[in-house]
Structure 1
Amino acid sequence: MQVIETLAEGLKREIKVVIPAKDMEARMNERLAEAKDKIRINGFRPGKVPVSHLKKMYGKSIMAELVNEIVRDQPTSILSERGEKSATQPDVKMTEDEAEADKILSAQADFEFTLSYEVIPPIEIQSTAGIKVTREVVEIADEEVNEQILKIAESARSYEEKNGEAADGDRVTMDYLGKVDGVPFDGGKDEDAQLVLGSNRFIPGFEEQLVGLKAGDEKVITVTFPTEYPAANLAGKEATFDITVKEVAAPGAVEINDDLASKLGIESADRLKEVVRGQIESQYSSVARQKVKRQILDQLDEVYQFETPGRLVDAEFDNIWRQINTDLAQSGKTFEDEDTTEEKAREEYRKLAERRVRLGLVLSEIGEKAGIQVSDEEMQRALYEQLRQFPGQEKEILDFFRKTPGASASLRAPLFEEKVVDHLLSEIDVTDKKVTKEELLADDEAEGSEKADEKKAAPKKKAAKAETAEGEEAAAPKKKAASKKKADDSAE
């Protein structure tokens, strides 16, 4: 077998592989000899079929198997022998001429194919001695814990039916039908919907018009959807809702005690406070970690500058660009609405894609040198978390990960990255700084990190699909929560 390098330009490589016809024929004859005793052909005793006859009957099919095996296995071996790592699966090209292909399968012509790929550049790991980060720490006051517990108690409070008019704080059970220009719209209908007046769960102006209604009352109310409403077909439009009130209920007393804790599956009120405090600490720690991680990545970005594989950058850019256009379509906005142009946006997101790829390669190399591994148990926990987020779709998700090549990498990559960050945090200089929760949660674009993923002259990047307290009902009068403003500064 001959391996000839035909292109070595930057990170791009092209390799021509030639396997002489006589070698292919020898491999075929070996395969036929192995199959000789197993093949049964009428008119021949077992094991006595002439190889020439077997070649005539099965030669081309066996050669086709050999070709497939070579194309499947040889690229890995060739790259290993060359000491190279391909950034993506190498492209394999063979002849498309039927006559030439027939000669190869008949062992009358050499088998030739080319490999095209980009190599991962060598990365020399630098010392982390100069990396310094500040970790923001929030002291959680008892008042904040009690405030959160009060909200929990209010959401768990009981309601008793009353005969009077609905007042602020009462729970109204109703049927409603929304219309724009007299025509019902998708998602604008519900039955036995419950709404606590004053909770601001529905669009502005909706709840206020229910005050004073009694069970059995019917009313048509008029509201205007906010201009920033996620459903572009409703944003800024006036709508009417036909309301039928079915019940008005007054709230019971809010009590924070062991009974409340028991309703929540917790043994006592004291334990409830501990749980709530732990949840708040976890939320703040998560935000602080992301800000520390961004500091680390910004400094690694300064240290490591090298050419990035174009195919990886293209793939990352395509993912980002697809999400950006989806976000714009859902919001009904254009690039001009975001004070930019498509050309500038492409340029900025291309830089972002290059940064992500470069930092991903750096973190991968650091992790590999440090011997970091993601265990099967950690992968199982990550899969379970995926299943937990999509109740009722467990089978489909499991099938996806079983049947989709590379799907498990989408679970492994973030786990590996976080373990590399933990490794770096054990080596670098970390200074804790006490801050208020407002300072911790402040939009850190103001900190001037020019290379942070969130800072760019293009449409705001969503961290994920817009999350809402009420699920994904698109057009009901429920007020949508804003999409998360901060995206993880993930390098992979």
Structure 2
Amino acid sequence: MQVSVDTTSQIERRVKVQLPAAQIDDAVSARLKDAAKNVRIDGFRKGKVPMSEVTKRYGSEVRNEVVGEAMREHYVRAITEQELNPAGYPQIEASVNEAGKDLEFVAVIEVYPEIELTSIEGTDVERPVVEITDADVDEMIETLRKQNANWEDVERSAEDGDQLNIDFQGFLGDEPFEGGSAEGHDLVIGSGSFIPGFEEQLIGASAGDDKEISVTFPEDYQAENLAGQEATFNVKVHAVKGQSLPEVDEEFVKNFGVEDGDLAKLRSEIGDNMRREATQAIDNRVKQQVLDALQKANEIPVPQALVQQETDGLKRQAAQQFGLGEDFDVSQLPNELFTEQATTRVQVGLLLAEVIKANELDASDDEIKAKVQDLAKQYQEPEQVVEHYLSNEQMKTQVKSAVLEEKAVDVLLAQANVADVTMTYQEALAAAQQQAGDAEEDEAEGESA
């Protein structure tokens, strides 16, 4: 076997393999002779068909089988011999395939990029510092009260936060438009569920009132025929209801899993959950800043085979998120909706892998167990969750990857200029959400560009 490798780009290789003619021709002859023992052709007894006739009928098919097997086998030998690290499957094609001539084939492959990491030294990273106070816990309990509130009719005009039961009909000029009407609809003022300006104009309305509301649809409204249009709505108010908040008593506490109704225990659990959420938000915010800096400092080519694999995974996640069902064919979703995000994920994944390799990072069984125990705290039966994770090798491997990623981020963080910034619980969560939104916008801009 003769092998030559041409570098056609940073991550593409053209592997040319040549095999002796006799090796292929002898294999074809041997297989045809073996087949001749069982061939049945009219006019000949079984096993007595002349080789010339067998070759005429089956020679091309048999040669294709032999050549296909030879190319697959010697491709593997070639990349092993040349110490190539392919990312995905090759494109293999025979360039010379004739009896009596050496077989030549070419395999075009993408390889993992060779990475020389550039430090992120000098990068500014903002790290939120959050303390959960009694006031934060009080605010969360108030939120829980509102989530479990009842609506009761009130003998007054509507205020922000009230629920109104209404009929409405929308008009463009004098003509009603499709989808612009409903009867008996419950609308909470301030919920933001209607067009901007609609809910605010219902403040002060009372049961039995008829209101005319004027609004302008947003320019980016999903219905193109309504986007940017001025409209009026005739609204009939049937009822105004205010929230009746539950008392924070023993029954209220029991509703949240504290069986003895002890308020102090509920407050403690709420505080623990808020601290866990704050820690996660802080970690995610810091991690995203570090990974953004790592990607900007290290521009690397990305194998398209890996991007496609990641794209397919994102498609499956989207199908699951939107409840499209297990039988939904994700190939119906356009690649371009996911390519930018997939490319970023692959780039960051390759860079993190290099950080882990360069710093010889590893995760011990104790570290993996500790991580699982931390994850299990949010479940009602944490011991069962821990046992389930640690007894499943696939899940255990996923946790190990998460631990290694955290260690890699810590290594990178040590290279950055970290500034601690005091934030409230709500500010920390809002900042993390804003950062996630900014990342999605950046990806969308990249796709449109």
Q: Normalising by structure 2, what TM-score? A: 0.63
- Offset at 1:279? 4.0
> Deviation string for 1:388-436 (max 9, x for gaps)?
xxxxxxxxxxxxxxxxxxxxxxx99997874432222565776894622
Does the 8 A contact of 1:131 with 1:428 survive in 2? no
Map of 1:404-419 to 2, 5 A cutoff? 418-419=402-403
Deviation at 1:313, TM superposition (A): 11
Aligned equivalent of 2:423, options 436, 439, 449:
436
Match of 2:137 among 125, 145, 151: 145
Tell which structure's C-alpha radius of gyration is larger.
Answer: 2
Identity %: 33
Given the superposition, is the C-alpha separation of residues 205 and 425 from structure 1 closer, same or farther in structure 2, using an over 3 Å criterion?
Answer: closer
The corresponding residue for 1:176 is 168
Instruction: Give how far 1:157 is off.
Output: 0.6
Structure 2 equivalent of residue 122 of structure 1:
114
Residue type of the alignment partner of 2:149 = R
Residues of 2 paired with 1:55 and 1:65: CA distance? 14
Distance 1:150 1:66 in 2: 75
> For residue 145 of structure 2, what is the amino acid of its counterpart?
A
CA distance in 1, matches of 2:176, 2:36: 74
- Residue 271 of structure 1 deviates from its aligned partner by 4.9
2:214 corresponds in structure 1 to: 222
Query: 1:124 offset after TM fit, Å?
Result: 6.0
Alpha-carbon distance change, 36 to 148 in structure 1, aligned in 2, over 3 angstroms: farther
- Cα distance per residue 1:226-280 (max 9 Å; x no partner): 4565666545432223434454434324423343344456644555434543443
Which residue in 2 is equivalent to 1:286? 280
CA 1:276–1:308: 2 relative to 1, 3 Å: same
1:128–1:427 contact (8 Å) kept in structure 2: no
| Alpha carbons 1:87, 1:120 under 8 Å: kept | yes
Distance 2:258 2:14 in 1: 64
Do residues 461 (structure 1) and 442 (structure 2) align? Answer: yes
Q: Distance in 1 between matches of 2:41 and 2:231?
A: 79
Map 1:94-105 onto structure 2 (within 5 A): 94=94, 104=97
Is residue 132–residue 428 contact of structure 1 (8 Å, CA) maintained in 2?
no
Change in Cα spacing, 1:40 to 1:198, as seen in structure 2 (3 Å) is same
- Paired position in structure 1 for 2:83: 83
Local SS of the residue matching 1:288? helix
Distance 2:51 2:363 in 1: 53
C-alpha separation in 2, matches of 1:138 and 1:235: 42
- 1:330-350 CA deviation, whole Å, 9 max, x = no partner? xxxxxxxxxxxxxxxxxxx99
Alignment correspondent of 2:230: 238
| Change beyond 3 A, Cα 1:427–1:158 | same
Give the Å deviation of 1:310. Answer: 6.1
Letter of the 1:85 counterpart: N
Deviations 1:338-383 (A, max 9, x none): xxxxxxxxxxx99x9998765432212344664679xxx9xxx9xx
Q: How far does residue 139 in structure 1 lie from its aligned partner after superposition?
A: 0.6
Supply the AA of the counterpart residue of 2:25.
E
SS in 1 for 2:196: coil
Superposition pairs of residues 56-67 of structure 1, within 5 angstroms? 56-67=56-67
- For the residue of structure 2 that corresponds to 1:59, the secondary structure is helix
Aligned to 2:380: none
**Cα offset for 1:82?**
0.9
Aligned counterpart in structure 1 of residue 407 of structure 2, from 423, 427, 448: 423
Question: Cα distance 1:422–1:237, how it changes in 2: closer, same or farther (>3 A)?
Answer: same
Indicate whether 1:193 and 2:185 are aligned. Answer: yes
Q: Which moved more, 1:124-133 or 1:271-280?
A: 124-133
Tell whether the 8 Å contact from 1:131 to 1:429 is kept in structure 2 after alignment: no
Relative to structure 1, is the Cα distance of residues 310 and 23 closer, same or farther in structure 2, using a 3 angstrom cutoff? same
**Aligned-residue offset at 1:205:** 2.7
Residue type at the aligned position of 1:178: G
| Letter paired with 2:90 | P
The 3 A distance-change label for structure 1 pair 74 and 230 is farther
The corresponding residue for 2:315 is none
For the 8 Å contact 1:139–1:434, the answer to whether it is kept is no
**Paired letter, 1:364:** A
- 1:104-132 per-residue CA deviation (whole Å, 9 max, x = no partner) reads 4x735544332233433434679999999
Unmatched 5+ stretches in structure 2: 312-338, 373-394
Counterpart in the other structure of 2:271: 277
**Of 152, 160, 165, the match for 2:152:** 160
Name the CA distance, whole Å, in 2 between partners of 1:372 and 1:72.
Answer: 37
Q: Calculate the TM-score normalised by the size of structure 1.
A: 0.58
| Partner of residue 351, structure 2 | 362
Could you say which residue in structure 1 is the equivalent of 2:327? none
Write the letter of the residue equivalent to 2:83. Answer: G
Structure 1 262/136 Cα, relative in aligned 2: closer, same or farther at 3 Å? same
Corresponding letter in the other structure for 2:300: T
1:366, 1:420 within 8 Å by CA — same for their partners in 2?
no
RMSD after superposition: 5.2
Report SS of the residue matched to 1:79: helix
Of 152-161 and 291-300, more deviation after overlay is shown by: 291-300
Secondary structure, counterpart of 2:442 in structure 1:
coil
Output the CA distance in 2 between the equivalents of 1:308 and 1:412. Answer: 30
Q: Aligned equivalents of 2:104 and 2:350: distance in 1?
A: 33
**Secondary structure class of the residue paired with 1:461:** helix
Letter in 2 for 1:194: D
Q: Which amino acid in structure 2 is aligned with residue 241 of structure 1?
A: F
Cα deviation digits, residues 137-181 of structure 1 (max 9, x gap): 311112122212212211221123467754544322234343434
